[in-house]
Amino acid sequence: MTHFGHFEGDVITKWLRDEGQKDRTMELMEDFSYVDAAGKRWLATKGRTVDGASIPAAFWSNTLGSPYVGDYRRATVLHDIGCQDRTEPHQAVHRMFLEAMRCDGVPVLTALTMFKAVDMFGPKWGPNVAFAIEPEMSMVDVAALKTATAQAVAELGEDAPLDLLDQRIDAILQQRVGPE
C-alpha cells in the first residue's frame, strides 16, 4: 500500500522486566521508521522503550486486542514514540498512526476505529490543550465509536478520503450525544 507511505527496517525488541509491574515494556534493539505519504520520516531509535500505552486500554480487551497483536503493531511502536517525544502536534502523531496502520494493511474500519479512539481519548499536548490527562474511555464509548465508524464507512465507502471519513464519524457521534 504505497499510497500510505512505507516502513523502513523491522521492529526488533527485547522485553524488559520491572519487578512488581506488568511486563509489557520493550526496548528497541534497532532503528525503525515510517515514511508517510508526504515524505515525513517518523523515527523510533534503538534504545527507546515502548509499552503500547498510547492506545486506550478499553480497546485492549476483546475489542481489537493488545497493542502488540495484529497488523497495527508497527504503527503502535511509532505512535508510542511520537506520544513520548511530543515534538509534533498530537493531531499529527495520531494521524500518522492512522496512515501507518493503513500502510500495514489494517482494514479501514479497524484503522479508523483505533485512530478515533486515540484521537478522542489518547494523549494530547500543545498550546491549546489545557491539560494532558486522557479522559477515561468506557465500553459504551467503545461501542458508540465502533458503530459510528462502521456507519461512516458504509455511507462513504472504504475508499473515501480519510479526512472525510473522520469528519463523518465526528458528525455521527455528535448526533448521538447532542450539542454540548
Question: In which residue are the cell numbers 465502533 written?
Answer: 146
* Tens-binned pLDDT, residue by residue, of the chain (180 aa): 448 999 999 999 998 887 766 677 899 999 999 999 999 999 999 999 998 776 666 665 545 555 666 788 899 999 999 999 999 999 999 999 999 999 999 999 989 998 998 898 888 898 777 555 556 666 668 888 889 999 999 999 999 998 999 999 999 998 876 555
CA-CA distances (angstroms) from residue 57 to 28, 94, 114, 174, 178?
A: 22, 16, 11, 23, 26
pLDDT for 1 equals 42
Query: Does residue 29 fall inside a structural domain?
Result: no
Count the domains in the chain: 1
pLDDT for 120 equals 87
Q: Which long-range contacts (CB under 8 A, 24 or more apart) does 91-96 make?
A: 91/119, 94/118, 94/119, 94/122, 96/34, 96/36, 96/40, 96/42
* Counts for the chain of helices (H) and strands (E), in that order: 5, 6
- Decide: 46 and 17 in contact? Cβ < 8 Å: no
pTM: predicted TM-score of the whole model, two decimal places = 0.84
Residues 6+ apart with CB under 8 A from 121: 56, 58, 134, 135, 136, 137, 141
- Decide: 123 and 54 in contact? Cβ < 8 Å: yes
State the residue range of the domain holding 123: 54-177
pLDDT for 80 equals 93
pLDDT for 162 equals 87
pLDDT for 22 equals 66
